[in-house]
Amino acid sequence: MARRLNASLISILLIISSLYFPSHCLVLEGLSIGRVTIFGIVRCSLDGDPDAPPISNGTVILTCGGLTDDLYETVTNPGGYFLIFLTFLQTLLFTPSVCDIRLSLPTGNCTISSPNGTLSGGLTLVSVAVTNSTSIATYAVGTITGTVI
């Protein structure tokens, strides 16, 4: 009985430790990233005009290639800004090269329309902060435009 219990405990420890191995998480500049923050502003413009009015109350969706569900969803504030904080598990599914931000149109205060009904933007790494407990990668969303995804 004790032998089966020990084998079970060892198996559980191996599974848990494999979750923390760097190959199973986002690695940037040799650092294992435990958290991801993404921020940006959405404006009512198909070409990224910085003087266009912001889109308030717009639903911003983070999608990553290969996932059947959206990774994260949030709403813009009255100034068009949004902020996303990914959990550790969401960070495991996050791959910046195949992820983008999109916003479905039309929205309440924006009457433009794009060919595919969405505005989208890519992600740019802004910084990596190292704390005592984890490393945090911060991304900014570039110009959000009406390009086809």
In a domain, 66, yes or no: yes
**Largest Cα span, the chain:** 71
Question: Which tens digit of pLDDT belongs to each residue from 109-135?
Answer: 787 777 777 888 889 989 888 888 788
In a domain, 111, yes or no: yes
| Residue 49: per-residue pLDDT | 84
At residue 148, the 3 state secondary structure works out as: coil
Give which of 69, 76, 66, 67 is closest to 119, Cα–Cα.
Answer: 76
| Residue 2: per-residue pLDDT | 47
Domain of 62, CATH number, reads 2.60.40.10
Q: Up-side HSE of residue 146: CA atoms within 13 Å toward CB?
A: 16
In a domain, 90, yes or no: yes
| Residue 60: per-residue pLDDT | 92
In a domain, 15, yes or no: no
Give which of 124, 119, 123 is closest to 43, Cα–Cα.
Answer: 119
| Residue 12: per-residue pLDDT | 53
Give which of 30, 37, 41 is closest to 137, Cα–Cα.
Answer: 37
In a domain, 6, yes or no: no
Whether 30 has a pLDDT exceeding 50, the answer reads yes
In a domain, 107, yes or no: yes
| Residue 85: per-residue pLDDT | 93
Supply the range of the domain harboring residue 133.
25-141
Whether 5 has a pLDDT exceeding 80, the answer reads no
Strands 135-141 vs 72-75: parallel, antiparallel or unpaired: unpaired
Number of domains in the chain: 1
Whether 68 has a pLDDT exceeding 90, the answer reads no
Strongest mean pLDDT among 19-33, 70-84, 120-134: 70-84
pLDDT average, residue stretch 43-48: 82
In a domain, 148, yes or no: no
Give which of 33, 41, 149 is closest to 95, Cα–Cα.
Answer: 33
